[in-house]
Chains A and B, each alone.
Chain A
Amino acid sequence: VMRGAALALTACLAAGVAQAQSPETQAWLRKMYDASQRLSYTGTFVYQQGSRSETSRITRYGAGDIERLEVLDGVPREIVRTRDTLRCYLPESKVVKVERREADRTFPALLPEKVGALTKHYDISLGESRRIAGFDCQAVLLTPKDNLRYGYRLYADSASGMLLKAVTVDASGETIEQFMFTQLAIGNVTRDMVRTRHAAGKWRVDNAEASPAHLSGWGLTAELPGFRKIVELKRRLGESRPVGQLVYSDGLAAVSVFIEPLDARREAVRTGLASVGAIHIYTREVANHMVTVVGEAPAASVQRIADAVEYRETRK
């Protein structure tokens, strides 16, 4: 009888532990990913960060994989994303910023074969059910195993998998920022609903002209645990500044390292940290270049990557 009791006890405790990375939680991540790739919808959502909040309208045309985002508060801004291009319309300054997208920039970390890698750095578990904007949602919790990354609480519609709310939390469980739909209608989206509202024919066009490149001599003295280099390219920033960009990611969070020659700039480099919600920006000077590190990771992580940036002269 005692042996049976011990077995029962072990089985129950094991069930609790195994729940963290069960097939069910993985299936939820997959469902959310599929919904983000497949659904047509239009809705209003609020982005909240500290005491600030901002309302936007978003529409996705599933058949053509086109999305349009329009910020409704403050300075008017609009972004239209097609499969290969992202256009950001700034009507007040009459500027269109154009970014080419590579076809394969989706979220591979959520595919079942990649979730294993994600679980190295996050505990993934199911949370409570909650009603959001009229949808019954299931929470999926991504809890970091160290303090190099943020945690996430994702709430997805139980029926469709559509993400209704995403909360970023820091190590003490405090909310850093959140996105939440206040109204959402799934389906019934036409191509016209995702066209830009602006006749931007005569606006200035800032084209990033990003292309893969090897940034000779640049790298990190030490990578941050779990963050691997996923992209290395040359591009333009703003009107014309040529910049190198290295991107590191742990599968969920990403940190970009921008490298630009100092002589192309008029302002002095101000070493230090700035923040926008969950995004931190750390700037410093390395080998007569301005290095700007931008990432949705805790300030200490962004600074660690910035401090590790080095230039090694390549000898011929």
Chain B
Amino acid sequence: MNDRISALMDGELAEGEAGETIGLLASDANGRQAWRTYHLIGDAMRQGRAVIAARPAANAPRWRMALPAVAIAAAVALVSWVAFLPVQQNQPAPAPMAKAEPPVQVPLPSAANDYLLAHQGFSPRVALQGMTAYVRTVSDQGEERRR
């Protein structure tokens, strides 16, 4: 894997192979770590610092001064992809819709449990969650209001 990452950075992979390696990078945390490490090493070398000692093992990549276009594109793509995931999971909710006026809050109806019991059986979630969903039906709150 590390050899392929190194080759990718050096622009030595064919288009198909490059795409495949990028795909692997996207799904492999170790690969991404190696990718970042190699870039740090590359940056340091380009700045003329001595980083020979920091090279990971004998199969370390052979650096060139300029990264080929495909490697840059791959880096951009990878960053976008990695950055995209958490954004997607915590997607901000759409803005609340315009409401005429807030509803009047009333206490639970005295027959709240009867309504909940009658309703719950038709909730698709019950089939997923089994009876746990029913606990709302018989929740203490409803029972207390009833007395």
Tell me the A residues contacting B by CB distance below 8 Å. 1-2, 4-9, 11-13, 15-16, 19-20, 32-33, 36-37, 45, 47, 49, 52, 54, 56, 58, 60, 67-69, 71, 73-75, 77, 79, 81, 86, 88, 90, 97, 99, 101, 105-110, 123, 125, 127, 141, 143-144, 146-147, 151, 154, 163, 166, 170-173, 177, 179, 208, 210, 230-231, 235, 237-238, 241, 243, 245, 247, 249, 251-254, 256, 258, 267, 270-274, 276-277, 279, 281-283, 292, 294-296, 299-300, 303
Contacts and interface: CB of A to CB of B under 8 A. Distances in A.
A105 B121 contact: yes
A38 B58 CA distance: 54
A273 B80 contact: no
B142 A276 contact: yes
Interface of B: 15, 18-19, 22-23, 26, 68-70, 72-74, 76-78, 80-81, 84-85, 88-91, 93-97, 99, 103-112, 114-119, 121-144
A281 B88 contact: no
Top 3 A-B pairs ranked by shortest CB distance?
A5-B73, A107-B127, A171-B93
B80 A13 contact: yes
Contact of B93 (A99, A173, A237): A173
B98 to A, nearest CB: 10
B77 A54 contact: no
Contacts of A77: 138, 143
Contact of B122 (A52, A58, A254): A254
Nearest to A156: B128
17 contacts: A4-B19, A7-B15, A16-B80, A99-B117, A105-B122, A110-B127, A141-B89, A166-B129, A235-B118, A251-B124, A256-B122, A271-B104, A272-B104, A272-B105, A276-B139, A292-B115, A296-B123
Nearest to A169: B93
A45 B105 contact: no
B122 to A, nearest CB: 4
Of the candidates A16, A32, A163, A272, the one having the most CB atoms from chain B within 10 angstroms of its own CB is A16
A94 B127 CA distance: 28
A154 B72 CA distance: 38
Contacts of A15: 23, 26, 81
